[in-house]
Amino acid sequence: MEVILIVLKFSKSLCAMLIVPALCFGTGVSAAAALKTTPVSQEAVAWEGIKSPLLRAAQFELLMRRPVAAITRLLADQSQGYFARHPAQARLVLGGIYLAYGAHYKAESIFQGLTIAEQPQGLRDMARYQLARLQFQRGQPDEALDSLGRIDGELPAKMQQERMLLSSLLFLQDDQFDEAEDNLRSMEHQAQRDDSDATSTWAAYGRFNLGVTLFRQGREQEGRKLLEAVGKMPADNSEIRALRDKANLTLAFSYLGLNEPDAAQKYFAKTRLEGPLSNKALLGLGRAYAARGEYKKALTPWMQLTKRDASDPSVQDGLLAVPFAFGKLEALKQSLGYYQSALNVYQQEMKQVHTAEAAVNNRALLDSLVRGVSSEALKQRWFLADLSDVPGARYLWPLFSTHEFQETLKNYTRIYRSRDTLTHWSARLGSGDIDPQLRRSLQDRIDALEKKLSTTQQRLGTHLTQLALMELNRRKQRLVSYAAEVRFSMAQIYDYAAKRWGGE
């Protein structure tokens, strides 16, 4: 069994952390797809050395989470020639703000224009770094490595750390393990030199990734040593606690794969029972007991697991594992009873999935999502927080956490709101003392833009609907398979009983 668990960290402030769980339950996304979702924060601009107060006024707006105001301000000042003395620096800042806003293509064209030899080296390097991040996000690892390779000097401290982590992830993706290892070790040394909390959190991510890298290289002992160190780290923040869980879970599943259930059990037990990975840990702990033939003990974590939210795939696995254990204990009546319960739960879940499907088809889901996204939340990367009122939302959580869904929904919501803004501008044009020709020209642009926004919004809505329906379809298929397994196992039990006791 292959164990891959990659954690990617780019911005502490945004808890920007991604996991690629390719454990043994087959529900994880591919590493390449997940790695594309590198978060970008307002830290997209390296502000060190930027002195112009007008540029720093844009920074202020960005720090206050008002990227549109920052961009509008910069564009307006730029068009009035305020940055004539340092146009390239202004463009770099503008590119960074576009990036923070999520306008990747616009940012890319600005950064591309700044990588030419005529630009000062420091500025060129920063533009290349930003390009590399964008290329990484878009799943263009070769281009990203090329951009990173063209950086000639040292970047500002924070960017330099991100650059090293990005390089190591790209090397890791490209199976260049030694290079990845070199980068991660450098990060670790840097953390020791700096002795700062932020750097040590970075180093913890680095150490974790290095551990996984070594594992994949077949250097299990070294990998395990690093993961063990991460799993034992003193945790004074939620990021480190989550990372510690991931390290312990990775180790546990690796030992389970090696058929060493004692060691696996030790690491499963170290994973928190209430954290985001706790369902996987409970399922795994039961498996560790079962591997030793201790089915009675296995029932404890598995029974605990089945009391949790049945929309979670680990819980659904647990619903099958419980009657399996009873079967192994020759308690066939209980086994049959729990199979029947599992079947009921799967049928109930199927009904809920159908309800969610109806909500998606009649756009009720999309309407709820758009209503639920506040202006403040839209400025965050992970902006979907409370979805308790959204019908069927719990089945779509895995989808909601994907880069594709989040970005599409963000675009949909922004366009929806921009159309209101256009209406407002149109009203303003009608009320002021404006040159008639200019007014006509602006009104024509507003009309054309409204048409374009309306078409794009419709297409985005269709795309979101398709994504949701695909996810729900996966759910349905999974439940159908589970139900088939249950019926098959129940038939096996009846068959076994008939042979043994003559058809009782």
Q: Which CB, 242 or 315, lies closer to other proteins?
A: 315
Residues 268-287 binding other proteins (CB under 8 A) are 287
Q: How far is the CB of 489 from other proteins (least distance, A)?
A: 6
Which residues between 209 and 268 bind other proteins (CB under 8 A)?
A: none
Smallest distance from the beta carbon of 193 to other proteins, in angstroms? 23
Name the token pair of 501: 């006791």
Q: Nearest to residue 47, comparing CAs of 1, 97, 87?
A: 97
- Residues 297-336, one symbol each (x = binds other proteins by CB under 8 A, - = not), give --------------------x--xx--x--xx--------
377 scored as a contact of other proteins (CB under 8 A): no
466 sits near other proteins (criterion: CB under 8 A): yes
CA distance 105 to 94: 13
Among 334, 401, 408, 443, binds other proteins (CB under 8 A): 408
CA atoms within 13 A on the CB side of 440: 3
Give, as ranges, the residues between 92 and 111 that touch other proteins (CB under 8 A): 102-106
Q: How far is the CB of 496 from other proteins (least distance, A)?
A: 6
Write the single-letter amino acid at 416.
Y
Our CB check for other proteins shows the closer of 219 and 478 to be 478
- Of 12, 15, 47, 235, the residue at the interface with other proteins (CB under 8 A) is 47
Angle of CA points 323, 328, 333, to nearest 5° = 50
| Least Å from the CB of residue 168 to other proteins | 26
22 closest CA partner among 176, 253, 205: 253
Size of the site for other proteins (CB under 8 A): 79
Strand partners, 19: 7
One residue of 258, 273, 438, 498 binding other proteins per CB under 8 A: 438
Q: Which amino acid is at 362?
A: N
440 part of the interface to other proteins, by CB under 8 A? no
Contact 182, 145 (CB under 8 A): no
Stretch that binds other proteins, among 179-187, 238-246, 363-371, 463-471 (CB under 8 A): 463-471
Helix (H) or strand (E) holding 44: none
How many helical (H) and strand (E) elements, i.e. helices and strands, does the chain have? 22, 2
Q: Which is nearer to other proteins, 387 or 497 (CB)?
A: 497
Question: Is residue 134 a contact residue for other proteins (CB under 8 A)?
Answer: no
- CA dist 256 to 253, 291, 314, 331, 341, Å? 5, 8, 17, 26, 28
Is 88 or 229 the residue whose CB approaches other proteins more closely?
Answer: 88
CB of 49 to other proteins, least distance (A): 10
Question: Considering the rule CB under 8 A, would residue 50 count as an interface residue with other proteins?
Answer: yes
Which one, of 443, 12, 493, 450, lies nearest residue 238 by Cα?
12
Min dist CB 245 to other proteins, Å, is 22
| 3-class secondary structure, 153 | coil
Distance separating alpha carbons of residues 323 and 329, to the nearest angstrom: 10
Q: Which is nearer to other proteins, 49 or 149 (CB)?
A: 49
The identity of residue 246, as a single letter, is: K
Q: By CB under 8 A, is residue 460 in contact with other proteins?
A: yes
- Please identify, using beta-carbon distances, which residue of 362 and 421 lies nearer to other proteins: 421
Task: Identify the residue among 14, 15, 41, 56 touching other proteins (CB under 8 A).
Answer: 56
- How remote is the C-alpha of 313 from its chain's centroid? 18
Q: Of these, 13, 64, 276, 363, which contacts other proteins (CB under 8 A)?
A: 64
Q: CA–CA separation, 133 vs 145, rounded Å?
A: 10
Residue 128's nearest CA partner among 106, 155, 101, 105 is 155
24 scored as a contact of other proteins (CB under 8 A): yes
